[in-house]
Amino acid sequence: MWLLALIPFSLQGLAIGFDEIYFHWKRGLPRWERIGHPLDTFSLLVCLLFTLYVPFTDLSMKVYIGLAVLSCIMVTKDEFVHKEHCPATENWLHACLFILHPITLIVAGLIWPVIQGAALPVWILSWLDNAPALEWFLFSQAILIALFMLYQIIFWNFIWKDEPVLKF
């Protein structure tokens, strides 16, 4: 059953990959997106690292919820400008990402006490029944997200030359 927990992460990764390779490479990114997108990625990375390295307590769960809410708000910050720069299909994909983002953070928040061996309701433990695999998965997600953030910073701010990468 624990494999079900991987679905929102996988869907989010596929959607962001498509957004990046199809839409961003096609239209290029203005400066505000070249700065803002790595910040969005960083807000997600902070949440995942929090679940991996901070002991699970009532207080730390409240802090995590605050970080997750902040991350959800942060990823929507560009939408006021996106409507001017993006086609409707890209805006639709962003809407899908806005749905997946909090679901992914909720699932990470449910995995967190499992990998730390906290006392949890039976329904959670029966669903998330492979703590070592879940911990490895969150760790690998954190690495992939950190690498994606580095790509966003390096490619869009130091390599890209103000023209579309791909012409479709």
Mean per-residue pLDDT, 140-156: 97
**Domain total of the chain:** 1
Print the domain residue range for 102: 2-159
| Residue 138 belongs to a domain | yes
Using an 8 Å Cβ cutoff, are 64 and 106 in contact?
no
| Residue 119 belongs to a domain | yes
- Each residue of 90-100: pLDDT tens digit? 999 999 999 99
Using an 8 Å Cβ cutoff, are 109 and 65 in contact?
yes
Using an 8 Å Cβ cutoff, are 107 and 8 in contact?
yes
Other Cβ atoms less than 10 A from the Cβ of 53: the count is 8
| Residue 165 belongs to a domain | no
Query: What sign does the CA torsion over 44, 48, 51, 54 have?
Result: negative
- The answer to whether the predicted template modeling score (pTM) of the entire model surpasses 0.85 is yes
| Residue 168 belongs to a domain | no
Alpha helices in the chain (DSSP H): 7-18, 25-27, 31-53, 58-74, 79-85, 88-115, 122-127, 131-154
Using an 8 Å Cβ cutoff, are 46 and 108 in contact?
no
- To the nearest whole number, what is the mean pLDDT of the chain? 94
Helix axes 88-115, 7-18, angle to 10 degrees: 150
The pLDDT of residue 148 is 98
- Each residue of 70-106: pLDDT tens digit? 999 999 998 888 878 899 999 999 999 999 999 999 9
